[in-house]
Chain A
Amino acid sequence: MSAIEILGFEKTYMVGFWRKRPKCALSPLHLNVEDGEIFGFLGPNGAGKTTTLKLLMGLVFPTAGSARILGKEWADPEVKAQIGFLPEQPYFYDHLTAHELLNYYAQLSGVPGKERTRRVDAMLQRVGLPDVKGVQLRKFSKGMLQRVGIAQAILHDPKLVFFDEPMSGLDPMGRREVRDLMEQLKHEGKTVFFSTHILSDAEALCDRVAIIHRGELRGVGAIKDLTSNVQGKVEVIWQGTQVPASMKALGAECHVTGDTVRAIINENQQDAAIDALRRERLHLISIVPVRTSLEAYFVEKLQRAETSAGRMA
């Protein structure tokens, strides 16, 4: 079953003070996110990621199109009891303490009274803020607010979680913890939809990604499919600092780093390369096909979009 089905969402804003003119923030968007997957929504700043999330959350209204979330109409308030949302650079009621804030959100999400305190305490523990639960949020750092934001998004045990730039404002340890948490959510059977422009995060986490640029969807697919564009080359790594003459004869591009050597050769020469290393009694570490990185795929999609936009102009 699809957790999210976006059926032609489109958003146009009227801009200008006297002479209003339309500005398209999102071209008709069709997208499916499967149940239980981590889905990355990628794009540069201003691409339309946040607009899409706001449309799904009912914070802005679409000019056209609709969506289904967990099999129901997206605007159905009952759907919202089963989803969690972390906005980009979240800001919360700073007169409240972390505990009071989470308790308030738990009330609004319909968490039963008896369970509320236990759930809030457990959530503060989970995001690493148990010691500051009685501190007002106005005294929190950006990273701590981001943790509170993550806690409020998953507090009510939703089936589907939307994160808008979840790593924003976090230090390397915090980013690692968020990645771990997203993986835990997946293991718990939840669907995670997150927007980011940090490709390494998406590559490390996502089952599938979509790329959006200037409000238009440029590509969708599984990470392994997007990055499996084997270019007829393999990467051979062996231990040592020595590059045998027979390897050079194969036309290998060799790079020595520390006590390993990395060589890129044609795929049809890999048996010859293994023989050459064996003859020289060198210890082979790995042979893997060369894949296009997600970054290369992303850049290529964006460049193609820029070129076609230039031609149109």
Chain B
Amino acid sequence: MNARIGYIASNTFREAVRDRVLYNLIAFAVLLSGAAILVGQISIDIEKLVVINLGLTAVSLFGIVIAIFIGIGLVSKEIEKRTLYTVLSRPVRRWEFIVGKYFGLAGTLVVNTFFMAIGVFAALFYVSHKFVRADALILVALYFIVLEFLIICSLALLFSSFSSPLLSAVFAFSLFVVGSFAEDLRGFAGMAHGLTRWLATGAAYLVPNFSAFNVISSIAHEQPVAAQLIWHNTLYALFYAAMALSGAVLIFERRNLK
């Protein structure tokens, strides 16, 4: 990796880590994992299922909130505060700045997920007093959550490269919600006719298919995940993130920084 991208990524990571709001969100996520233990204790015989479901959902939702919250300001805040001027007046290409910012945010989310995952495993150990082989499947669910974050980060960055933080947040969150129902949208497209079918099919394949990444429920029931799905999701997430990131670079390369 280009050294300048690494420096920008590392600065983005440091900025996110020093942001107090981030700690509030993490604290909230840990609290929710703790709540999962309480709920688990009053759910006779399904404590483990409740803990896994609630814990992983908390990791996913708070990660998405963090990704959108930080991602939407990554470029627009730099333009607004003019911190970008002293970066781009150095031998830094605009695409390096965008890619560096992306890796910085993605790195922040991976580290956050790691710590929140420790919370989930601790809660799980508290209710079941031991780990079994099937618990390793939680790692697959966590991996899929990280892949979701990679897509959301790239989308937040894409919107941040041309729009205000508020609008970027609305766009990114809307895409997350629509993407979570992408399979239903594809089903609807299959049933529709004429122009509606074309439009629905286009929209269904354009929005990120987050429903394919949600294996929390099946893992809570100790159902295995097909290796093919892991490969498919990995390639899909990398391709989608690369496309969104390329869009961000194309827009940002032409943008006047008034």
Could you list which residues of chain A lie within 8 angstroms of chain B, going by C-beta atoms? 13, 54, 57-61, 77-78, 80-81, 83-85, 87, 90-93, 95-96, 100, 104-105, 107-110, 149, 152, 162
**Within 8 Å CB of B82, what residues of A?**
87, 90-91
Q: Which residues of A contact B92 (CB under 8 A)?
A: 77, 80, 108
Which residues of the partner chain B approach A60 to less than 8 Å between Cβ atoms?
Answer: 256-258
What are 15 A-B contacts defined by CB distance under 8 Å?
A: A54-B85, A58-B88, A59-B257, A80-B90, A80-B92, A84-B89, A87-B85, A90-B86, A91-B81, A91-B82, A91-B83, A92-B83, A104-B7, A105-B90, A152-B86
Interface residues of B toward A: which range?
A: 20 to 34
* Interface pair A110/B257, CB less than 8 Å apart: no
> Once the chains bind, are A80 and B91 in contact (CB under 8 Å)?
yes
Q: Which residue of B lies closest to A85 (CB)?
A: B89
Across the interface, do A93 and B83 meet the contact criterion of CB distance under 8 Å? Answer: yes
Contact residues of A: prevailing secondary structure: mixed
With A87-B82, A91-B81 given, is the CB distance from A57 to B89 under 8 Å? yes
Q: Which of B84-126 contact A (CB under 8 A)?
A: 84-93
Q: Are B83 and A108 in contact (CB under 8 A)?
A: no
The answer, yes or no, to whether B4 is at the interface (CB within 8 Å) is yes
Q: Which residue of B lies closest to A162 (CB)?
A: B89
B34 to chain A, nearest CB (A): 29
Note all chain A residues with C-beta closer than 8 A to B89.
Answer: 57-59, 80, 83-85, 87, 162
CB-CB under 8 A from A92, the residues of chain B are: 83, 86
Q: How far is the CA of A109 from the CA of B4 in the complex (A)?
A: 9
For A57, list chain B residues within 8 Å (CB): 85, 88-89
* B residues near A58, Cβ cutoff 8 Å: 88-89
Nearest-neighbour CB distance to chain A for B223, whole angstroms, equals 44
Complexed CA–CA distance, A50 and B227 (Å): 57
Query: How far, in whole Å, are A126 and B254 apart by their CA atoms in the complex?
Result: 37
Q: Roughly how many angstroms separate A20 CA and B38 CA in the complex, as a whole number?
A: 60
